[in-house]
Chain A
Amino acid sequence: MSDMTPKPNLSPDVQAQGGIGTAPVPATEHGDHLLHDDHDHEHHDQHWLWKYVFSQDHKQIAKQFLITGMLWAILGGTLSSLFRLQLGWPEGTMEWLKPVLGGWIQAGKLNPEFYLALVTMHGTIMVFFVLTAGLSGTFSNFLIPLQVGARDMASGFMNMLSYWFFFVSSIIMFSSLFIETGPAAAGWTIYPPLSALPQAIPGSGAGMTLWLVSMVFFIVSQLLGGVNYVTTVINLRTRGMSMSKLPLTIWAFFLTAILGILSFPVLFSAALLLVFDRSFGTSFFLSDIYIAGQALSNQGGSPVLFQHLFWFLGHPEVYIVIMPAMGMVSEVLATNARKPIFGYRAMIGSLIGISLLSFVVWAHHMFVTGMNPFLGSVFMFLTLIIAVPSGVKVFNWLATLWRGNIRFTAAMLFAIGFVSLFISGGLTGIILGNATLDIQMHNTYFVVAHFHLVMGSSAFFGLFAGVYHWFPKMFGRMMDEKLGYIHFWLTFAGVYLVFMPMHYVGIAGFPRRYYAWTGFDAFSQFADMNKFISIAAIIAFLGQFIFIFNFFYSIFRGRRATQNPWNSTTLEWTTPIEPGHGNWPGEIPAVYRWPYDYSKPGAEQDFIPQNIPYSQTQSSNLPYEQDMAD
């Protein structure tokens, strides 16, 4: 056998067999061979390149996504610290950064065009590379097969490609930071004509080209991943795992993947048309432009068209970011409150409602672009309706805590923090979704504060909750709880200290993406507040290194995990402490009950795993369950 066959490539048929348990597989020591146990010895020598780098194991790929995402998050956070320095101390010198930033510091001042590059890259990195790939990529990959009871994704190879397309995309985006004209600088929304014309800003030269190329790879990665997630959830559920027995995490990942599949291609088309306008002289988005002493020949294009295309992805995108966090938070809250999630079906219904609505609200980003005001009315109506399913989710989370028996694990703290941030940020969306009020608030710091709370920080909190909660399953060890507590309280306080005052600044009308507001009387009254926000932001960012230390330290030195450290009901905790490729050494367990049988009256323990049949729990069965047991 050659080293070139990395892992047993599981066809869905094989998995289905494993899944329905008709092909009992002998347990092996490492559990990663399935039907290949006679080849046991070869896999011991499996080359590290196939095991850790070009792995097709969904768990390994998840870790790759996670660690790449963490590197991106550090970079994204560093960029934000740089521009917060500029905003907090507009008169201060930045000469000391010259060794790092070189020519972008001129006479001790940050170059204003580089400032725009910083905010653009911060947004791009955080939205796409951290919160889309890092969050959904990590946990969709890690949890879908484990929680639905599958050996691996439907296509391990496509899954591997998904990561490596993301990797190439990352390399291209990262390299754009080092070119002479700087990275893309037209805002993460890359509105043309600014993004189309290098004459308008140097970042729209090679930096923008790299941005677009990187995004094309990114979209391919998302689609490969998304198709895999949807297929796996539909086809590879274990015996008994009906859709109405899926944990809410899986529902969230499933719907997220569908949103991605339907909306990312539209961004692809927008990017493609922009490439045409930039390089081949077309006029999709350009018209009547006189720039740098020259009238361009482009006629008849519409910059507003680009915004429609962009936000057709851009709005579902914020739900792509937040829904996996919602799913994981539901799971963590139920587990640690030792209570069933309240209103399981309503939770699924509201996820579906949010998913559907997310496709018909995009133009609320465009109320004042000159779009027909009638459209504005329609989109205001559709946008504000989203408050209803979102409200249902919040109330259900609160009801889940009510009369629970709460264990404050680090994951639980972040889940509670998520709910708090989601409320705070979500409510201001009701202001912004109102077209009338958006006239004043559009593109101010009110918007910045809103989305940093409701999708930025919340999604990060979901990510942290997920990492703390599933770390034992990922690495077979526990993260340090005390460090987790400190990390949580520092971050939680930090996030509020940064973003609450930002609302005040926004209500006063401060425009976003301003290098300095010292030139305007109307905007100059909040100099102290900006300093305050900057300090809080930088400290909160530095606090994240507690987490990073804890993460890497615990991988090697953490306390060893037990098989089911949180006494959870879902299937991933029925695997060995460190599951090999194939997840279960023997047969895949069948599922008999929903995933939230916590603190069931009459049960011996305060949780009953999904794979325990009703016949074994006579004392706690509800009447209709008793029928199934008989």
Chain B
Amino acid sequence: MTALTILLVLVLLLVVFGLLFRLQIFTSIFSGTFTRDIGMSNSVNAILMLVFLIGGGGWFAYSFVENFSKMNPPIASVHGHQMERMFWITMAVLGVAFAITQTLLFVYSYKYQHREGRRAYFFAHNNKIEVIWTIIPAIVMAALIFAGWKAWTRITGPAPKNSVVVEVMGKQFNWLVRYPGRDMKLGVINYRMIDAVNEWGFDLSDKSALDDFTTNEIHVPKGVPVLIKIRSRDVLHAVYMPHFRVQMYAVPGMPTRFWFTPTTTTDEMRAKLGNPKFNYELACNQVCGGSHFAMKATVIVDEPDDYQNWYAAQQSFSQKNPDVLAAFKLKAKTMVTPVASSTEEKEAAPTPLAASY
């Protein structure tokens, strides 16, 4: 139905334009003022400029307000709220510049339309106003750059020492999730050890890998900094969690990371939105193949106590897969040298993103 309406409106517009321009030829022919040069179409176009400013501006304002709630998905992280504020402040600044320049453009177009016998004002340059409109935007930009830079260094800075660590690994086309287990150390993984069972490529000859556990959903505690370590094992992916204002690429061969502090549990958000099915989502946001659009994981924010309980109840990968563990033990006995690991990752202390580069 909407489709039909829009189609109809546009067709009508087309007809109206057509008639306007045709009609004007006929009237000018009849009134004997028909010239091929600058005719009435000039003023029609000038009026349309004004119509476009008012009509278009009105439509934009209306649709913006109408959709405002939809374009503001709920936010559930500390830095997310700051970013939101910065986003809308910047938008307001841009909105002012937008309104002023667009209004001048269309009003000038209307006002200074061709008039017989008038001559344009020969005005080639004026250093004073040019300096003014160079400096004012420069000052505004400086303020925006400064605010953006401060927030950026804070957000991408080192994660707090007490951060909870979780690692995700992108693959075509889902997300693998692992936690460091009781020793709080992520064990060594090696992409050459990946197979259908050992999707992470755990090197179980490394002790800290023994208690690592994998899950399908990402659980994080509320109010505690969470450090997400990010890997990919095939092509580029990107961890994108719009509710937490988190985004970072998953790059094969180069671990990346991002930290944030969730502010609202899943249950709280469900109650707040009145939507019992609500879930925080992790989307892949770097094209990775045919099912890119379906590469999704669910993120659950728990109360810290619930999180502790959930964490303690998890069974490690090596416990779940005794066969794999047995194979590693056998190999360790028969081989003199352990398998070289290419992606050593032992430090537990979080470091800035830079460290991974």
What is the distance, in angstroms, from B93's C-beta to the closest C-beta of chain A?
Answer: 8
A270-299 Cβ-contact flags toward B at 8 Å (1 or 0): 000000000000000011111101010001
B243-280 Cβ-contact flags toward A at 8 Å (1 or 0): 10111110111101000000000000000000001110
Say yes or no for A7: interface residue by CB 8 A criterion. Answer: no
Q: Taking CB as reference atom, which chain A residue is nearest B132? A: A395
B120 near A337: Cβ-Cβ < 8 Å = yes
A511 near B285: Cβ-Cβ < 8 Å = yes
Say yes or no for B14: interface residue by CB 8 A criterion. Answer: yes
Say yes or no for A41: interface residue by CB 8 A criterion. Answer: no
Say yes or no for B352: interface residue by CB 8 A criterion. Answer: yes
A601 near B13: Cβ-Cβ < 8 Å = no
Residues 331 to 347 of chain A near chain B (Cβ within 8 Å): 337-340, 342-346
Say yes or no for A576: interface residue by CB 8 A criterion. Answer: no
What is the distance, in angstroms, from A115's C-beta to the closest C-beta of chain B?
Answer: 8
A439 near B246: Cβ-Cβ < 8 Å = yes
Number of A residues with CB within 8 Å of any CB on chain B: 128
A344 near B357: Cβ-Cβ < 8 Å = no
Say yes or no for B17: interface residue by CB 8 A criterion. Answer: yes
B218-246 Cβ-contact flags toward A at 8 Å (1 or 0): 00000000000010011110101011011
Which of B129, B236, B240, B279: most chain A CB closer than 10 A?
B236
Knowing A191-B236, A373-B353, A521-B279 are in contact, say whether A381-B145 is a contact too (CB < 8 A): yes
A385-407 Cβ-contact flags toward B at 8 Å (1 or 0): 10110011011101101111111
B153 near A373: Cβ-Cβ < 8 Å = yes
Say yes or no for B209: interface residue by CB 8 A criterion. Answer: no
B21 near A193: Cβ-Cβ < 8 Å = no
Cβ contact of B115, chosen from A345, A346, A405, A606, cutoff 8 A? A405
A443 near B238: Cβ-Cβ < 8 Å = yes
What is the distance, in angstroms, from B11's C-beta to the closest C-beta of chain A?
Answer: 9
Residues 85 to 102 of chain B near chain A (Cβ within 8 Å): 86-87, 90-91, 94, 97-98, 101-102
A138-163 Cβ-contact flags toward B at 8 Å (1 or 0): 00000000000000000000000000
Knowing A193-B235, A526-B70 are in contact, say whether A442-B247 is a contact too (CB < 8 A): yes
- Complex CA–CA separation, A377 to B156 (angstroms): 10
**In the complex, chain B residues whose CB is within 8 Å of the CB of A295:** 191-192, 194
A401 near B253: Cβ-Cβ < 8 Å = no
**In the complex, chain B residues whose CB is within 8 Å of the CB of A373:** 152-153, 156-157, 352-354
What is the distance, in angstroms, from A236's C-beta to the closest C-beta of chain B?
Answer: 27
A401 near B137: Cβ-Cβ < 8 Å = no
Q: Taking CB as reference atom, which chain B residue is nearest A523? A: B283
Say yes or no for A448: interface residue by CB 8 A criterion. Answer: no
**In the complex, chain B residues whose CB is within 8 Å of the CB of A474:** none
Cβ contact of A416, chosen from B22, B49, B121, B191, cutoff 8 A? B49
Cβ contact of B130, chosen from A343, A401, A598, A600, cutoff 8 A? A343
B291 near A486: Cβ-Cβ < 8 Å = no
Say yes or no for A14: interface residue by CB 8 A criterion. Answer: no
A370 near B251: Cβ-Cβ < 8 Å = yes
**In the complex, chain B residues whose CB is within 8 Å of the CB of A420:** 102, 105-106
Knowing A384-B141, A405-B112 are in contact, say whether A504-B45 is a contact too (CB < 8 A): no
Say yes or no for B78: interface residue by CB 8 A criterion. Answer: no
Cβ contact of A440, chosen from B97, B242, B283, cutoff 8 A? B242
Q: Taking CB as reference atom, which chain A residue is nearest B142? A: A384
**In the complex, chain A residues whose CB is within 8 Å of the CB of B292:** 112, 116, 513-515
Say yes or no for B310: interface residue by CB 8 A criterion. Answer: no
A-B contact pairs, 12 of them (CB 8 A): A299-B342, A338-B120, A343-B130, A370-B251, A377-B149, A380-B148, A402-B123, A431-B87, A492-B52, A519-B296, A521-B277, A606-B119
- Residues on B lying within 8 angstroms of A by beta carbon are 2-3, 6-7, 10, 13-14, 17-18, 21-22, 25, 36, 38, 41-42, 44-46, 48-49, 52, 56, 60, 63-64, 67, 70-73, 83, 86-87, 90-91, 94, 97-98, 101-102, 104-106, 108-109, 112-115, 118-126, 129-130, 133-134, 137-138, 141, 144-145, 148-149, 151-153, 155-157, 171-172, 191-192, 194, 196, 201, 230, 233-236, 238, 240, 242-243, 245-249, 251-254, 256, 277-279, 281, 283-294, 296, 342-343, 352-354, 356-357
Q: Which 10 A-B pairs have the closest CB atoms?
A: A287-B253, A509-B242, A370-B256, A373-B156, A408-B45, A403-B121, A599-B120, A113-B290, A434-B148, A514-B293
- Residues on A lying within 8 angstroms of B by beta carbon are 111-113, 116, 186-187, 191-194, 197, 200-201, 286-291, 293, 295, 299-304, 337-340, 342-346, 368-374, 376-377, 380-381, 384-385, 387-388, 391-392, 394-396, 398-399, 401-408, 413, 416, 419-420, 423-424, 427-428, 430-431, 434-437, 439-440, 442-444, 481-482, 485-486, 489-490, 492-493, 496, 500-501, 504-505, 507-509, 511, 513-517, 519-523, 525-526, 528-529, 531-532, 535-536, 539, 559, 596, 598-601, 606
